[in-house]
Amino acid sequence: MNSLKPLHFKFTAILLLICCSSLFGQKLAPKERILAPDHTITSTITGKDYQLYLSFPKDYSTKDSISYPILYVMDGQINFSTIRGMRTLFDLGPLIEDVIIVGIGTSNWIVNRYQDFTPSVNTSEDEKRKGMFKSGGAAKFLESIKTEITPFLDKNYKTNADRGITGHSLGGLFTTYCLVNSDGYFTRFGINSPSLWWDNEKVLNQAVTQFTENKIWDLPQTKVFISVGDQESSSMVPTMMKFSKYLEDSNYENIDLKWKIFDEENHISVFPASLNKTIYTLYGKK
């Protein structure tokens, strides 16, 4: 009998190895996580559907009369997961003011942002895209925000007239356009990696003219944060610096300006850092 024990142990060990190998070989498939918009607004101005992704202060309640500032974030469907994570961390402090954050997105993201975020028609850029993209729709998109999206949110949620806007890349160009042509509708601006090279720097040149020729800018108290990554393309850093410098030198009493160049960040990698800094700069508690 003793001579059979080694064989018994060997058989048991082999069986265990086979079972373990089978278990470890069965990999789990990742769960599908769907980020769904809270609302979809059909614009009669632009002819597009806009998806709204909403993030609320943790104490938001329909049972009180408190109203909240609102921050619009461009490219909402891409950015909202980052926003949601940041909100959770900021609420641990709490580090920021109570603010409703609204990501604005579209289903045909690449095509629609190219049109909605560009303030002028750039024929040479349109031709590069072989007619699939049409630029120059910023004025209509801004009108849609003012006359369609904001009234919808004001009707259904506890918003107030303290409005901010932020965007990255072409979204940063659009936010710059909103600032340069500001009528006080927005009072907080996050301009990140702005594509100020657009259309031979048309918006940048308009800004420089305005900042140098107008010693007074009749706006309500306004906060502006501008950023770029130091490893972005050669067209990005100098234009951002030029815009920031001229705005800074204008020394407008009603403009609270802060700007930052992020070290070792490129056009894509800089995004989470710039959005985080935008929210904290524009809404951070003293």
**4 vs 280, more confident:** 280
Does the residue 31 lie in any domain? Answer: no
pLDDT of residue 6: 55
Does the residue 3 lie in any domain? Answer: no
pTM for the full model? 0.89
Does the residue 278 lie in any domain? Answer: yes
Does the residue 35 lie in any domain? Answer: no
Residue 267: which CATH number? 3.40.50.1820
pLDDT of residue 1: 46
Percent of the chain predicted with pLDDT > 70 = 91
Three-class secondary structure of residue 190 per DSSP: strand
Are the C-beta atoms of residues 111 and 49 closer than 8 Å to each other?
A: no
* pLDDT tens-digit series, residues 123-172: 988 888 877 889 999 999 999 999 999 999 999 999 999 999 999 999 99
Does the residue 229 lie in any domain? Answer: yes
pLDDT of residue 25: 65
Q: Which two tokens stand for residue 1?
A: 């009998």
Three-class secondary structure of residue 93 per DSSP: coil
Does the residue 39 lie in any domain? Answer: no
Place of tokens 């042509």: 181
Place of tokens 């601006």: 189
Does the residue 2 lie in any domain? Answer: no
Are the C-beta atoms of residues 68 and 160 closer than 8 Å to each other?
A: yes
Look at the chain and report how many structural domains it folds into.
1
Does the residue 127 lie in any domain? Answer: yes
Q: Tell me the residue length of the chain.
A: 286
* pLDDT tens-digit series, residues 12-56: 555 555 555 554 568 998 888 778 899 999 999 999 999 999 999
Which structural domain range is residue 178 located in? Answer: 49-283
